[in-house]
Amino acid sequence: MKVLSIESSCDETGAAVVEKKGNTIKVLSNIIATSSEMHAKTGGIIPENAAREQVKSIIPVIVESLVEAENKNSKNFTDNFILASKILKGIDAIAVTYGPGLIGSLLIGVETAKTLSFTSKKPIIPVNHLLAHLYANFIASTDNKNPINFPFIGLIVSGGHTDLLYFKSHNDFKWLGGTRDDAAGEAIDKIGRMLDLPYPAGPEMEIRANRVKDINMKFQSPLINSNDFDFSFSGLKTEAMRYIKENKIDNDLTNKICYATQNAIFDVLIKKTLKAAEIYDCKSILLGGGVSANKTLLERFQSEIKNLKIKTEIFTPEKKYATDNAAMIGAYALINGEKKEWREVGSNPELYFS
């Protein structure tokens, strides 16, 4: 089965063609247009601007994903457009993110998918963006084996969400906890903004944190000792803000603040995720979302997992599938999606886990 998948929940417009053969999920194309440079100027996303950019990008991105999937990109839009409508005939379904996200952005992807579904008579597969972040781990890299085993713990760490889930099977899962205020990525971006780092701050914060050799600075990890699976990062933001106000911030100190911020966030993420894996006796741990692109986070998980009483394996998506993209939407649709008629599908900005 082969799907065209569309992602437009925030400031990225993505389209991909993804195929499932046996148990292998293969990405044939994965195109992304981002308006993040525009948002960098305002230090964050203005929803109205993000939606306007989505409108401009959605058709060119879909056309490119279809022609790229067949290695037939002529670089001429009219030629590609004609070819894309032919290629669409060989697609089995159209998968689309229907939530959560910014309503203006979501509508562009969902209504485009519905129009394509209506005109091409292909079914739609609506996909939860958050679950798709975890299912990015099922995309095959080199071999055909899928080493992910149930039960697994899923940790979603993105710009908008921090959630911990326990999966017995694809359809039987339980939300264990999540952030009570800011998401992990949101705290990183907000502290990054105080330090004048480019938006989004995660990648630059990682580079700067890696430059720190000796560290004598520590921020608190909120809720690290609480007896639940919740997170809270707004206190960390306040602590960092106070420190930045009270000290003369040079390049060296900026790097140290990056290191301390990352560490405070990672300490609590790792502690609670591993505790959940132990309690629920999980065979795998799946990370997903933009913050899971961070190599230090993975390395720390890999090292600390060895101290557990159980044997479990950690998975993180390839970097290009960790941040927002349409390939992960296709992967979820192919593994656990439900085909619907276009009339039954609508955007749901508040969608959570149900």
State the residues that interact with ligand KG4 by CB under 6 A: 10, 158-160, 185, 188-189, 200-203, 206, 289-291, 293-294, 323-324
Strands 152-157 and 284-288 come out as parallel
Q: List, in sequence order, every residue forming a beta bridge with 231; answer none if it has no partner.
A: 179
Q: Footprint of Zn ion on residues 129-188 (CB under 5 A)?
A: 158
Nearest Cα to Cα of residue 201 among 13, 34, 44, 319: 44
Question: What mask, x for binding Zn ion by CB under 5 A, covers residues 310 to 339?
Answer: --------------x---------------
Size of the site for Zn ion (CB under 5 A): 2
201 binds, among ligand KG4, Zn ion, none (CB under 5 to 8 A by kind): ligand KG4
Residue 203 binds which entry of ligand KG4, Zn ion, none, CB below 5-8 Å type-dependent? ligand KG4
Distance of CA 152 to the CA centre of its chain: 18
- In whole angstroms, give the CA distance from residue 354 to residue 348: 12
Amino acid at 80: N
Is residue 35 close enough to count as binding Zn ion by CB under 5 A? Answer: no
> What is the nearest approach in angstroms of ligand KG4 to the Cβ of residue 202?
2
Residue closer to ligand KG4 (CB basis): 68 or 206: 206
**Which is nearer to ligand KG4, 10 or 25 (by Cβ)?**
10
Which residues, 6+ apart, have CB-to-CB distance to 295 below 8 Å?
Answer: 206
Nearer to ligand KG4, 126 or 290 (CB): 290
CB nearer to ligand KG4: pick between 64 and 163? 163
CB within 8 A of 286, min separation 6: which ones? 134, 137, 148, 152, 153, 154, 155, 315, 316
Q: d(Cα 218, Cα 269) in Å, to the nearest integer?
A: 16
The binding site for Zn ion (CB under 5 A) comprises 158, 324
